[in-house]
Amino acid sequence: METAQLAKLLTAVQEGRLSVAEAVAQWPGQAGGAPDFAVLDHGRAARTGMPEVVFCQGKTPEQVVTIVGRLLSNEGRALATRASVETGEAVMAAYPQARWHQAARVIALGEAAAPPCAADAPFVAVVTAGTSDIPVAEEAALTLEFLGHCVQRVYDVGVAGIHRLMNRLDVLRQAQVIVAAAGMEGALASVLGGLVACPVVAVPTSVGYGASFGGLAALLAMLNSCAPGVAVVNIDNGFGAAVHAHQIMRLTHPS
């Protein structure tokens, strides 16, 4: 249950428009019931500032449709990550209003939380070394937008043509947080860490030839960055990087 919905429920009890028993029936984890294969955490946003998001991998399309429906009913919106084509098609069939971002494997339902971004609005810059890193970066960008943040995308500016990165420094130095996705040797995050004053969240991607070991080389390079202020999430974990950036933005730029 979102904080605003919880406040509305408690206000109704305080004003006598809702009995305690009725409020309990609508309390997180009660309203709308729950499928027998999942225990939905409707109170997560109130506790942590981050609503429950559906991780689709390992779930059947039918399970995802059911869970998404419960979240949509209780929260008014829902986000699902790592959705296969079959899952995306199933959710779209059940909820035609859903937004299915196939390359990023992300499904968003409900009103977008991010307002139109003013020119001087605080933002997170999502940066990629190459075009091949964009699916992971888009998972991060779409998650951040779902959570209400402005996002500036700066794609294909890796160190193989480092002048491309330098040409975008004016944007990058205005960001409050940077999410940097890179495969191969993962050098982009270290370079950014030495150029900007804001936190850098590094996302190693599984892009690269054999000795990249599916992103392990980039992960180890980012963990061993000599530039201070670089935090690292797991391989291809654009969602985790977005949540970390969201936590920083909530503390530094509360809405």
The answer to the question of residue 115 being in a domain is no
Same domain, 91 and 133: no
Same domain, 73 and 146: no
Please tell me the predicted confidence (pLDDT) of residue 31: 43
Please tell me the predicted confidence (pLDDT) of residue 252: 86
- 231 neighbors 201 (Cβ within 8 angstroms): yes
Q: Give every residue of the chain whose pLDDT is below 70, as ranges.
A: 1-5, 21-22, 24-35, 111-115, 255
Please tell me the predicted confidence (pLDDT) of residue 56: 93
What pTM did the predictor assign? 0.83
18 is in which domain, residue-wise? 3-110
Separation between Cα atoms, residue 181 and residue 203, nearest integer Å? 5
The CATH number of the domain holding residue 246 is: 3.40.50.1970
The answer to the question of residue 52 being in a domain is yes
Please identify, among 83, 110, 137, the residue that sits at the C-terminal boundary of a domain.
110
Same domain, 177 and 222: yes
Please tell me the predicted confidence (pLDDT) of residue 141: 96
Please identify, among 58, 83, 110, the residue that sits at the C-terminal boundary of a domain.
110
